[in-house]
Amino acid sequence: MKSLLSPASVLRILGCAGLFVLAACAPKEDPRMSGRLVLEYWEKWTGFERDAMARVVDDFNNSQDKIFVRFLSVSRIDQKMMLATAGGVPPDVVGLWAINLPSYA
């Protein structure tokens, strides 16, 4: 008996389903960003250091209405920053370890 769906059709369906899942998981835009300059800030800290830096960024965002910093805690920042830079989409601000800096000189 012949199958109703070809392998290519199955791949197309799975691809579309994947796109819908990714779209549903996209972060919501913070209403505080409206009308402000938005800066992407990647930081290497995780755990309690990440929580402390998130509070600093939140305090900054709440202190004025011209700039909004979108904070992202990134593991393996050395690899992800290199990939983002090579791809032409690095963050505006990044907290790197000192040992990572010569790679960008």
Q: Report pLDDT digits (tens) over 41-78.
A: 999 999 999 999 999 999 999 999 999 999 999 999 99
Return the pLDDT at 28: 61
Where in the chain are the domains?
29-104
DSSP state of 5: S
Band of pLDDT at residue 3, cut at 50, 70 and 90: low
- DSSP secondary structure of 21-45: HHHHHSPPPPGGGTTSEEEEEEE--
Band of pLDDT at residue 34, cut at 50, 70 and 90: confident
CATH class of 29-104: alpha beta
Band of pLDDT at residue 32, cut at 50, 70 and 90: confident
| Weakest-pLDDT range from 25-29, 85-89, 96-100 | 25-29
pTM: 0.69
Q: Report residue 30: phi and psi, to 5°.
A: -70, 125
Return the pLDDT at 69: 98
DSSP state of 28: P
